Amino acid sequence: MPTNKTKHSFLYRNGLTLFFMALFIVTLGAQALTGWKENNQEMKDIGGQEIGFVSYLGTGHFLSATFENFQSEFLQMGMYVLLTVSLRQIGSAESKSLDEEEDVDKEPQPAPDAPGPVKKGGFILKLYSNSLSLCFLILFLISWALHLYGSWVDHNDHQLLMHKPQDSLAKFLTEPTFWFETFQNWQSEFLSIVSIVFLTIYLRQKGSSESKPVDAPHMKTGK
Protein backbone atom coordinates (compact mmCIF):
# COMPACT_ATOMS: atom_id res chain seq x y z
CA MET A 1 0.00 0.00 0.00
CA PRO A 2 1.57 3.39 -0.97
CA THR A 3 2.48 5.77 1.82
CA ASN A 4 1.55 9.44 1.96
CA LYS A 5 5.07 10.30 0.80
CA THR A 6 4.66 8.31 -2.41
CA LYS A 7 1.08 9.40 -3.02
CA HIS A 8 1.70 13.13 -2.75
CA SER A 9 4.41 15.49 -3.96
CA PHE A 10 6.79 17.30 -1.59
CA LEU A 11 5.01 20.61 -2.22
CA TYR A 12 1.60 19.11 -1.47
CA ARG A 13 2.83 17.48 1.75
CA ASN A 14 4.55 20.64 3.00
CA GLY A 15 2.48 23.39 1.38
CA LEU A 16 1.32 25.10 4.57
CA THR A 17 4.83 25.42 6.01
CA LEU A 18 6.41 26.45 2.72
CA PHE A 19 3.74 29.06 1.99
CA PHE A 20 4.10 30.81 5.32
CA MET A 21 7.90 30.49 5.29
CA ALA A 22 7.93 32.22 1.90
CA LEU A 23 5.69 34.98 3.27
CA PHE A 24 7.99 35.32 6.28
CA ILE A 25 11.09 35.72 4.11
CA VAL A 26 9.42 38.24 1.79
CA THR A 27 8.00 40.36 4.61
CA LEU A 28 11.24 40.21 6.62
CA GLY A 29 13.09 41.45 3.55
CA ALA A 30 10.53 44.22 3.08
CA GLN A 31 10.86 45.18 6.75
CA ALA A 32 14.65 45.29 6.46
CA LEU A 33 14.54 47.45 3.33
CA THR A 34 11.99 49.94 4.66
CA GLY A 35 13.61 49.95 8.10
CA TRP A 36 16.97 50.77 6.51
CA LYS A 37 15.46 53.75 4.69
CA GLU A 38 13.64 54.94 7.81
CA ASN A 39 16.77 54.61 9.96
CA ASN A 40 18.86 56.56 7.46
CA GLN A 41 16.26 59.32 7.44
CA GLU A 42 16.29 59.45 11.24
CA MET A 43 20.09 59.58 11.26
CA LYS A 44 20.09 62.48 8.80
CA ASP A 45 17.48 64.35 10.87
CA ILE A 46 19.64 64.24 14.00
CA GLY A 47 22.95 64.91 12.29
CA GLY A 48 24.18 61.37 11.70
CA GLN A 49 25.42 59.66 8.54
CA GLU A 50 23.60 57.21 6.31
CA ILE A 51 24.79 53.60 6.38
CA GLY A 52 24.68 50.79 3.82
CA PHE A 53 22.02 48.10 3.80
CA VAL A 54 24.33 45.29 4.99
CA SER A 55 25.61 47.46 7.85
CA TYR A 56 22.03 48.24 8.82
CA LEU A 57 21.30 44.54 9.42
CA GLY A 58 23.68 44.65 12.40
CA THR A 59 22.21 47.78 13.98
CA GLY A 60 20.12 48.01 17.11
CA HIS A 61 17.30 49.50 15.03
CA PHE A 62 16.95 46.32 12.93
CA LEU A 63 17.49 43.91 15.83
CA SER A 64 14.97 45.68 18.03
CA ALA A 65 12.26 45.92 15.36
CA THR A 66 12.72 42.28 14.35
CA PHE A 67 12.92 40.57 17.71
CA GLU A 68 10.25 42.63 19.45
CA ASN A 69 7.84 40.94 17.05
CA PHE A 70 9.43 37.50 17.33
CA GLN A 71 9.30 37.42 21.12
CA SER A 72 5.62 38.32 21.26
CA GLU A 73 4.77 35.57 18.76
CA PHE A 74 6.69 32.94 20.69
CA LEU A 75 5.14 34.10 23.96
CA GLN A 76 1.68 33.85 22.40
CA MET A 77 2.20 30.36 21.04
CA GLY A 78 3.92 29.06 24.18
CA MET A 79 1.18 30.32 26.47
CA TYR A 80 -1.50 29.02 24.10
CA VAL A 81 0.03 25.54 24.05
CA LEU A 82 0.34 25.43 27.84
CA LEU A 83 -3.01 26.98 28.77
CA THR A 84 -5.03 24.77 26.44
CA VAL A 85 -3.86 21.83 28.57
CA SER A 86 -6.08 22.84 31.48
CA LEU A 87 -8.34 25.75 30.44
CA ARG A 88 -11.53 25.32 28.44
CA GLN A 89 -13.91 27.47 26.36
CA ILE A 90 -17.30 25.97 25.75
CA GLY A 91 -18.19 25.93 22.06
CA SER A 92 -14.71 26.86 20.82
CA ALA A 93 -12.99 24.81 18.13
CA GLU A 94 -9.72 25.65 19.92
CA SER A 95 -10.68 24.02 23.22
CA LYS A 96 -10.59 20.46 24.42
CA SER A 97 -13.87 18.82 25.43
CA LEU A 98 -15.30 19.92 28.76
CA ASP A 99 -15.93 16.35 29.93
CA GLU A 100 -14.39 13.69 27.71
CA GLU A 101 -10.78 12.55 27.79
CA GLU A 102 -8.98 13.29 24.54
CA ASP A 103 -6.13 11.52 22.76
CA VAL A 104 -3.64 14.22 23.78
CA ASP A 105 -4.32 13.46 27.47
CA LYS A 106 -3.57 9.74 27.23
CA GLU A 107 -0.27 8.35 28.44
CA PRO A 108 2.09 7.71 25.49
CA GLN A 109 2.54 4.06 24.55
CA PRO A 110 5.62 2.71 22.75
CA ALA A 111 4.84 1.36 19.31
CA PRO A 112 6.91 0.54 16.20
CA ASP A 113 6.06 3.88 14.57
CA ALA A 114 6.22 5.96 17.78
CA PRO A 115 8.86 8.73 18.07
CA GLY A 116 12.21 7.64 19.53
CA PRO A 117 11.75 9.34 22.93
CA VAL A 118 8.48 7.44 23.47
CA LYS A 119 10.32 4.15 22.99
CA LYS A 120 13.12 5.22 25.35
CA GLY A 121 10.81 6.35 28.16
CA GLY A 122 12.01 7.84 31.46
CA PHE A 123 13.41 11.38 31.56
CA ILE A 124 13.75 11.55 27.78
CA LEU A 125 10.03 10.86 27.40
CA LYS A 126 9.16 13.41 30.10
CA LEU A 127 11.20 16.03 28.30
CA TYR A 128 9.70 15.13 24.94
CA SER A 129 6.18 15.26 26.40
CA ASN A 130 6.75 18.97 27.10
CA SER A 131 9.11 19.75 24.22
CA LEU A 132 6.71 22.01 22.31
CA SER A 133 6.14 24.45 25.18
CA LEU A 134 9.83 24.28 26.17
CA CYS A 135 10.89 25.14 22.63
CA PHE A 136 8.58 28.16 22.54
CA LEU A 137 9.87 29.25 25.97
CA ILE A 138 13.51 29.10 24.82
CA LEU A 139 12.71 30.94 21.59
CA PHE A 140 10.82 33.58 23.56
CA LEU A 141 13.70 34.15 25.99
CA ILE A 142 16.26 34.40 23.17
CA SER A 143 14.05 36.82 21.21
CA TRP A 144 13.28 38.89 24.32
CA ALA A 145 17.00 39.21 25.08
CA LEU A 146 17.84 40.20 21.48
CA HIS A 147 15.00 42.72 21.44
CA LEU A 148 16.32 44.23 24.67
CA TYR A 149 19.87 44.35 23.33
CA GLY A 150 18.81 45.88 20.01
CA SER A 151 16.57 48.47 21.64
CA TRP A 152 19.34 49.43 24.08
CA VAL A 153 21.95 49.79 21.31
CA ASP A 154 19.56 51.84 19.18
CA HIS A 155 18.73 54.06 22.15
CA ASN A 156 22.41 54.72 22.86
CA ASP A 157 23.11 55.44 19.17
CA HIS A 158 20.50 58.20 19.35
CA GLN A 159 21.91 59.44 22.68
CA LEU A 160 25.38 59.69 21.13
CA LEU A 161 24.19 61.66 18.11
CA MET A 162 22.27 64.05 20.36
CA HIS A 163 25.38 64.53 22.54
CA LYS A 164 23.72 62.93 25.55
CA PRO A 165 25.30 60.38 27.91
CA GLN A 166 24.80 56.73 27.05
CA ASP A 167 22.73 54.60 29.42
CA SER A 168 23.72 51.31 30.97
CA LEU A 169 21.55 48.31 30.25
CA ALA A 170 20.25 48.36 33.83
CA LYS A 171 19.26 52.03 33.56
CA PHE A 172 17.66 51.46 30.15
CA LEU A 173 15.45 48.76 31.68
CA THR A 174 13.97 51.34 34.05
CA GLU A 175 12.92 53.61 31.20
CA PRO A 176 9.61 53.26 29.31
CA THR A 177 10.92 52.79 25.74
CA PHE A 178 11.67 49.07 25.89
CA TRP A 179 8.54 48.22 27.87
CA PHE A 180 6.33 50.27 25.55
CA GLU A 181 7.70 48.30 22.59
CA THR A 182 7.15 45.06 24.50
CA PHE A 183 3.61 45.60 25.76
CA GLN A 184 2.29 47.00 22.47
CA ASN A 185 3.20 43.66 20.89
CA TRP A 186 2.04 41.43 23.73
CA GLN A 187 -1.43 42.94 23.88
CA SER A 188 -1.97 42.39 20.16
CA GLU A 189 -0.99 38.71 20.49
CA PHE A 190 -3.36 38.17 23.41
CA LEU A 191 -6.15 39.81 21.41
CA SER A 192 -5.51 37.44 18.50
CA ILE A 193 -5.83 34.43 20.84
CA VAL A 194 -9.09 35.74 22.25
CA SER A 195 -10.34 36.25 18.69
CA ILE A 196 -9.61 32.74 17.44
CA VAL A 197 -10.89 31.10 20.64
CA PHE A 198 -14.15 33.07 20.78
CA LEU A 199 -14.99 33.51 17.10
CA THR A 200 -14.75 29.78 16.39
CA ILE A 201 -17.76 29.31 18.68
CA TYR A 202 -20.12 31.02 16.23
CA LEU A 203 -18.26 31.39 12.91
CA ARG A 204 -17.10 28.70 10.46
CA GLN A 205 -14.70 28.21 7.59
CA LYS A 206 -15.51 25.17 5.49
CA GLY A 207 -12.47 22.98 4.94
CA SER A 208 -10.26 24.57 7.62
CA SER A 209 -8.77 22.45 10.39
CA GLU A 210 -9.15 25.47 12.67
CA SER A 211 -12.94 25.53 12.31
CA LYS A 212 -15.72 23.25 13.49
CA PRO A 213 -17.85 21.62 10.77
CA VAL A 214 -20.23 24.17 9.25
CA ASP A 215 -23.28 22.31 10.58
CA ALA A 216 -21.89 21.83 14.12
CA PRO A 217 -23.91 23.33 16.99
CA HIS A 218 -22.50 26.52 18.49
CA MET A 219 -21.98 24.90 21.89
CA LYS A 220 -20.10 21.88 20.48
CA THR A 221 -16.63 22.17 21.99
CA GLY A 222 -13.55 21.17 20.00
CA LYS A 223 -13.14 20.29 16.37
128 neighbors 115 (Cβ within 8 angstroms): yes
Q: How far is CA 93 from the centre of its chain?
A: 20
Up-side HSE of residue 223: CA atoms within 13 Å toward CB?
Answer: 10
Cβ within 8 Å of residue 110, ≥6 positions away:
118, 119, 121
Q: What is the pLDDT of residues 174-204, one digit of tens each?
A: 999 999 999 999 999 999 999 999 999 999 9
pLDDT at 99: 86
The one-digit pLDDT tens for each residue of the chain (223 residues) are 455 667 889 999 999 999 999 999 999 999 999 999 999 998 888 888 899 999 999 999 999 999 999 999 999 999 999 999 999 999 998 998 888 888 888 888 888 888 999 988 899 999 999 999 999 999 999 999 999 999 999 999 999 888 899 999 999 999 999 999 999 999 999 999 999 999 999 999 999 988 988 988 998 898 7
pLDDT at 145: 97
The DSSP secondary-structure symbol of 216 reads S
pLDDT at 108: 87
pLDDT at 47: 81
pLDDT at 70: 95
Angle between helices 15-45 and 60-86 (to 10 degrees): 140
Using CA of residue 170, residue 175, residue 176, residue 177, what is the dihedral sign? negative
76 neighbors 193 (Cβ within 8 angstroms): yes
Secondary structure class of 6 (helix, strand, coil) = helix
User: If you average pLDDT over every residue of the chain, what do you get?
Assistant: 92
Enter the pTM of the model.
Answer: 0.88
